[in-house]
Amino acid sequence: MRSPQKRGARQHQVADVQCLCRTDSLRFSSHRGCCLIDPKMFSRSALLVPNHGQQQVRGMATLKAIAMRLKSVKNIQKITQSMKMVSAAKYARAEKELKVARPYGAGTTAFYDKAEVKGEEEKPNQLIVACSSDRGLCGAIHSSICKHIKAELAQDASKAAIICIGDKSRAQLARVLSQNIIGQVGEVGRKPATFEDAARIATFILNSGYDFGQGRIIYNRFKTVVSYDTLELPFFTPSAISAAEKINVYDSLDADVIQSYMEYSLTSLLFFALKEGACSEQSSRMTAMDSASKNAGEMIDKLTLTYNRTRQAVITGELIEIISGAAAV
């Protein structure tokens, strides 16, 4: 039999295979079935890299490992491609609904701007509503909202309460600001949001019992298919509205009207934020899945080349053995 040294030399030819676990953005967390072939593997006596306990069998096990990996990356590419198609369809629908919802948001904020309503100065407590959703694989949607909130509360987190719409934002904020989270809304993002959902969330917010001077909704505003902005929408309490600068310009207002107005405008703002968030999320997921499919495609190309080279090396090796065996006879 060939000496280990010679075997090692042959392994050198296939040893320029790079470990693909480290390529690009598709990061596989486990390194099982790692195809890294250490050229010095056979010169070392100790077994360092468990390769299914089969490193005595040259080439074949590696071939199987590469084939398994190739198959799995191909499956992943199929999945990401279909996710892209699905979110493209959902995005088209979300954009149509957003066109209708935008006047709602514009109409509500128009009053707050023109009446120059400001938060109550005597009550420094703030209520922050993080508007995201339950589902991931959508790029930086959830983390941009959480970053915004964390940056704001970096100095002083004592006078703020957070209500999370969506599981993902709660999961991220719970790590740092768990004592500030007073409520969470789940089951968001699967189906398009309706006004009734916004109304229920508004009721939940107002019944949360937190005495706030000013409230803010943090949401992702849809700009284009490839970009969105993380912005804030302020909302106020009835007493803040009554204390506003230009409120006396407005005729025939009583406490009842202001209360109903405030509740309805909070609902419209939430509806608007949910629609914008949904549109940004679907477009972001579309681009994320598109890049994932492209990366998977690149990995498949590289793996196929590796596979072919390994296969050829195995065949060549067997041929050489046969020939040298025959020559010895």
Partner 1 sequence: MFARTAHTLARQVARAGTRAYSDAPMSFTFASQNQVFYKEASVRQVDVPSFSGSFGILPSHVPSLAVLKPGVLTVFEDAGTSKKYFVSSGIVTINQDSSVQVLAEEAAAVEELDLASARDILSKAQSAASTAATEEAKAEALITVEVAEELVKAAESG
- Rounded Cα–Cα distance for residues 41 and 104 (Å): 67
Which CB sits closer to partner 1, 28 or 111?
111
The stretch among 118-126, 220-228, 252-260, 300-308 that binds partner 1 (CB under 8 A) is: 252-260
Q: What is the dihedral of CA 321, 19, 40, 3, to 10 degrees?
A: -10
CB 304 to partner 1: min, Å? 49
Give yes or no for residue 223 binding partner 1 (CB under 8 A): no
- φ, ψ of residue 41 to 5 degrees: the values are -60, -40
Give the closest residue to 198 by CA, choosing from 128, 255, 269, 146. Answer: 269
Candidate list 75, 137, 246, 321; residue touching partner 1; CB under 8 A: 246
Give yes or no for residue 93 binding partner 1 (CB under 8 A): no
- Rounded Cα–Cα distance for residues 166 and 201 (Å): 12
Which CB sits closer to partner 1, 40 or 96?
96
- Rounded Cα–Cα distance for residues 255 and 263 (Å): 12
DSSP state of 185: E
Beta-bridge partner residues of 163 = 129, 183
Candidate list 23, 72, 79, 97; residue touching partner 1; CB under 8 A: 97
Give yes or no for residue 257 binding partner 1 (CB under 8 A): yes
Candidate list 11, 77, 87, 108; residue touching partner 1; CB under 8 A: 108
| DSSP H or E segment with residue 67 | helix 60-114
Give yes or no for residue 237 binding partner 1 (CB under 8 A): no
Which CB sits closer to partner 1, 164 or 266?
266
Q: Give residues in contact with partner 1 (CB under 8 A).
A: 97, 99-101, 103-104, 106-108, 110-111, 114, 194-195, 246, 249-253, 256-258, 260-261, 264-265, 268, 271
